[in-house]
Structure 1
Amino acid sequence: MYLITNGQVVTEDAILESHEVLIRDGLIEGIFPSGTIGHELCRNVIDANGGYISPGFIDIHADFIETMASPRPTSVMDFGLSIRETEKVLIGHGITTMFHSLSLYKEDEFGFKPIRQAKNVRKLIDLIDASHNRQHLIRHRFHARFEIDNFDEIENLKQYLDQNKVHLVSFMDHSPGQGQYRDLEVFRTTLKGYKDITDQAIDGIIAKNQLKEKLTIQMIKEIADLASEKNIAIASHDDDTVEKVELVQHFGATISEFPITLDVAKEAKRRGMYTIAGAPNVLLGGSHSGNLCAATATKHQLIDILCSDYYPASLLHAVFILHEKHGLDLGAMFNLVSINPAKAVKMDNEIGSIKKGKKADIIVINKIDENYPAITAVLVDGKLVTRTHYRV
């Protein structure tokens, strides 16, 4: 049993000043005004010191594991070690549930990544699946990012679905001329940032990609139907037109990852889809690809979820930047990284908010130097997994 006291409890609807949370047998027993529960009744007391007592963050799109497993194109670390070290990093950023976004690519024009080879993806998937029944710090889940020209991996993806190893499926198309790279100059600039390449060579890459064969809508729908049968959420990726939003919803997508414009995000919302923006976009002040500004879209109430994408620290800081710099309600910003993603991936009956009967995935956030939010305690499944004490 744990008592987290003397804090500001973040609920789905409000932030409760001077409250405490009682945890018993891994579940949230209740929220009470501070001092209600006598400390003598609970041996494990965590003093929040006036900080925020928040649900643990749920990150449903992040490829950070790829960097940890292969920090250089010629360096591939032991995958078991990589997952262990990754979760140690993630709890320091308040992430208690991570959907590791592993890519099923046929070819990556931005450079060879050994971690995206089919055999390595399979190894990581199997380790993520095995983690559920081994000692672990956080909830590990697998987000299958399927590039729609990868005919070679269709049967493998179906197998992963059949084996209950997939927890979210997204369909991606990174071809230049549409989606994230609808502006071909952005594609050129980005590609040159990855490799020394001539404009003539880039012209060849663009032409090749625009002519390549892709899965038909019926093929995509067949995979989507398998996911739906397993009650797995389906996402589209980089929606760049209203027509594409209509199309992806046709095959069962309920999540629009990184809509490219305000109009597209608005259409996805109108259709009842969850919209996702990258938290690094908030920290950077805009999209690194020249697309939708996450802060602007959030101000227009067009973003439901923030994900860390490639930078785990961004979730925590984006919440406070959107509140302190952009004047948005702090409680609503916490929802972008907790209950909203939980709803999108159908986990909200167990986690995502501090509510009686839910699993106690809870973090404590204190401000350091007045303006720097820091994670100082993390509980997962009602067990304390880390404490951090800043010293003067």
Structure 2
Amino acid sequence: MNEQIYTNYRLQLPDQEVLGTLVVQDGMIADIQPGVVNHGQNGEENYLLPGLIELHTDNLERCMSPRPGISWPLEAAAVYHDRDLASAGVTTVCDAIAIGDVAADSPRLTNFAPMIDVICRGQATERFAVEHRIHLRCELAFEDVYPITEQYADNPLLSMISLMDHTPGQRQFIRLDKFKEYYMGKHGVTAAEMDNLITTRQEKQKIYAQKNRQALVKLAQAKGISLASHDDATVEHVQEAIQDGVVLAEFPTTLEAAKAAHNSGLQVLMGAPNLVLGGSHSGNVAAMELVLFDLVDVISSDYVPQSLLQSIFIIAHKTGKPIYEAMRLFTSNPAKAINLFHNRGSLEIGKRADFITVHDDCIVPRITSTICQGNRVS
């Protein structure tokens, strides 16, 4: 039997903090007790939290293209991405893979297959430090989004499908100036090309978006895949999501939409970078505003893995909530959203030994170790 003992830690249990001892046996939590013992790893009263669960990260894309025009070798990029997550305290991740995009020359139009393949290979060969799953980001105005998604519907790693519509003039990009700023900066679209891009995308949305939405909803329901909406801006958007069986509302852009989603029983997801920076880069509602109204259920790192841990402490500081309560947005709630709470997402006997140890110097909290299924991975 393989056993590890972690003692003198501030254990962040589901409903309380306990200075105590946690015992791991064969990759599972075997015991949790208050008090300190005289053997095992002494935590010197640092924090011990459940491993963080990430539902929406684009970090693999960043590792594949660390600078514009650079394509990093895919296998190496996937390992770099995995290590980024481990060092950020993530023990389960849904890698967000885009199917389709607004820009006609976007690498997202062709990168999805090799990205999915490298995740599946890495997971199957135990190359990764943390557990990877797949989140397909389905761009509704992309003509081929449904047949492509259908190919992966029976993949055992597929945990979530999100319904996305980045057409200019609505949802995330209700302001066309923000759309232009984003795509001219990220994709190098020239000012002369921008008007044609906007017109073309709006026309394609009218042709494909509703048909694709209906087909994807039916597919997710048939396969039992968790479904997310994206960038809901109005009560009508939320009502449509509820009718479609959505369980997670990602990045609502207005207070009105967030209230409607949360009050209707949807889990509301916001971005940790928004919390750290104090606002949205697209000019939409600030995550902290929603947190202060208790309208946020899940936090995602989006494009900065290290922002997750910092955001737990930001929320605790701003709201006065204890760490064990603030952390639910990063641990138990995302586990519930993808039906994994039975074996992870909280420090409980019989669950996987997925947890992190944290030192907080009241400046920036930092991970001192990441444990995944009893093994130290960072």
TM interval, short-chain normalised: over 0.9
* Contact 1:106-1:147 within 8 A present in 2 as well: yes
CA gap 1:196/1:168 in 2 versus in 1, 3 angstroms = closer
Matches of 1:351 and 1:225, distance apart in 2: 29
Work out the CA distance in 2 between the residues paired with 1:127 and 1:189.
32
Deviates more, 1:206-215 or 1:293-302: 206-215
Does the residue aligned with 2:69 lie in a helix, a strand or coil?
Answer: coil
> Is 1:235 aligned to residue 228 of structure 2?
yes
How far is 1:38 from its partner? 5.5
For residues 221-260 of structure 1, the aligned pairs below 5 Å read 221-260=214-253
On the 8 A contact 1:377/1:384 being kept in 2, the answer is: yes
1:127 maps onto 2:118 in alignment:
yes
Tell me which residue corresponds to 1:46: 41
Match of 2:80 among 85, 94, 100: 85
Percent same amino acid among aligned pairs?
32
Distance in 1 (CA, whole Å) between partners of 2:68 and 2:182 is 18
What is the match of residue 117 of structure 1?
Answer: 109
Contact 2:139 2:145 in 1 (8 A): no
Match of 1:380 in 2: 372
1:182–1:241 Cα change, 3 Å: same
Residues 223 and 191 of structure 1: is their aligned pair in 2 closer, same or farther, counting only changes over 3 Å?
A: closer
Structure 1: 5+ residue stretches without partners: 40-44, 387-392
1:165 to partner: Cα distance: 4.0
| 3-state SS of 2:202 partner | helix
1:339 counterpart = 2:340: no
Distance 2:231 2:145 in 1: 21
* CA deviation profile, 1:73-103 (whole Å, cap 9, x unmatched): 4322222211111111211111111111111
TM-aligned CA distance change 1:331 to 1:243, over 3 Å = same
Higher alpha-carbon deviation: 125-134 or 343-352: 125-134
Q: Deviations over 1:9-48 (max 9, x none)?
A: 11221222x211111111111211132x562xxxxx3222
Contact residue 140 and residue 212 of structure 2 kept, 8 A:
no
The one-letter amino acid paired with 2:15 is: D
Cα distance in 2 between the residues matched to 1:127 and 1:173: 26
Q: Is 1:56 matched up with 2:57?
A: no
Q: Please state whether the residue corresponding to 1:71 is helix, strand or coil.
A: coil
- Structure 2: stretches of 5+ with no match in the other structure: none
- Of 164-173 and 350-359, more deviation after overlay is shown by 164-173
Structure 1 residue 192: deviation in Å?
A: 4.0
| 1:30-179 paired onto structure 2 within 5 Å | 30-35=31-36, 39=39, 45-108=40-103, 112-114=105-107, 116-118=108-110, 120-135=111-126, 136-179=128-171
Amino acid in the other structure paired with 1:367: D
Pick one of 194, 202, 205 that aligns with 2:194: 202
Q: 1:9, 1:95 → 2: CA distance?
A: 17
Q: Distance in 1 between matches of 2:278 and 2:14?
A: 27
My pick for the range that moved more, 270-279 or 376-385, is 376-385
* Structure-2 separation of matches of 1:283 and 1:127: 31
User: Is contact 2:353–2:371 with CA below 8 Å preserved after alignment?
Assistant: yes
In the other structure, the counterpart of 1:361 is 354
Q: CA deviation at 1:160?
A: 0.4
Counterpart CA distance in 2 for 1:278 and 1:230 is 28
TM-superposition CA deviations, 1:201-246 (whole Å, max 9, x none):
4333322222224435454233223223333210010001100111
Amino acid across the alignment from 1:176 = P
| 8 Å Cα contact 1:362/1:380 also seen in 2 | yes
User: What is the deviation of 1:339?
Assistant: 0.4
Secondary structure of 1:225's match? helix
Flag the 1:304–1:69 CA change in 2: closer, same or farther, 3 A: same
CA contact (8 A) 2:248 2:267 kept: yes
Q: Tell me the CA shift for residue 162 of structure 1.
A: 2.4
| DSSP 3-state at the match of 2:163 | strand
Give the 3-state SS of the residue equivalent to 1:151 in structure 2.
Answer: coil
Q: Partner letter of residue 306 of structure 1?
A: I
8 Å CA contact retained: 1:360, 1:379: yes
**Are residue 9 (structure 1) and residue 11 (structure 2) matched?**
yes
CA separation of 1:113 and 1:191: change in aligned 2, threshold 3 A: closer
Q: Counterpart of 2:261?
A: 268
Superposed, which structure 2 residues align to 1:278-357 within 5 Å? 278-357=271-350
Taking structure 2 as the reference length, the TM-score comes to 0.93
Tell me the secondary structure at the aligned position of residue 162 of structure 1.
coil
Partner of 1:301, secondary structure, is coil
* Farther off after superposition, 86-95 or 50-59: 86-95
SS of aligned partner of 1:54? strand
Which stretch shows the higher mean deviation, 326-335 or 167-176?
326-335
Whether the 8 Å CA contact 2:142–2:209 is kept in 1: the answer is: no
Deviation at 1:274, TM superposition (A): 0.6
Aligned residues: 373
Change (3 A) 1:288 1:216: closer
Report the AA paired with residue 88 of structure 2. Answer: H
Residue 196 of structure 1: how far off its partner (Å): 6.6
Is 1:19 matched with 2:20?
yes
- Distance in 2 (alpha carbons) for counterparts of 1:222 and 1:206: 25
